[in-house]
Amino acid sequence: MYILLPMDGEDQEESKLTKLNDVKVWAQICVEDGKLKKISFNKDQDAFENFSTAVVVTSDNEYVWPFMEKSMMVLVAHIQRDIEDVVEAYLFKELHDLAY
């Protein structure tokens, strides 16, 4: 599964999940068999080779309609900000569905 993350930078260790209005770069992570397989970064959210089936945002108040129009699942990471924390929360089903 490919998941799109709005990030504040390209450093895998230092960058943090950020609000959609503040995104500097997009990270696409590939999670397979319960493991993080690949991380890619790009300035354009639509420029990745593979289609992302989900996007992770920081709150329920984000404007996510463009992602929903693409039939992407929207997940909310209320407290997770590091890539590793988001992956762990995804694997343990700790990310929340968007509250309407």
CA angle in degrees (0–180, nearest 5) for 46-87-80: 95
What are the tens digits of pLDDT across the range 61-100? 999 999 999 999 999 999 999 999 999 999 999 999 987 6
Q: Given this model, what pLDDT does residue 99 score?
A: 78
The pTM (predicted TM-score) of the whole model is 0.95
The span from the CA of 75 to the CA of 96, in Å, is: 6
Decide: helix, strand or coil at residue 74: strand
Three-state SS for 65? helix
User: Can you tell me the mean pLDDT for 38-52?
Assistant: 97
Range of the domain at 28: 2-97
Q: What is the CATH number of the domain that holds 31?
A: 3.30.420.130
Q: How many domains does the chain have?
A: 1
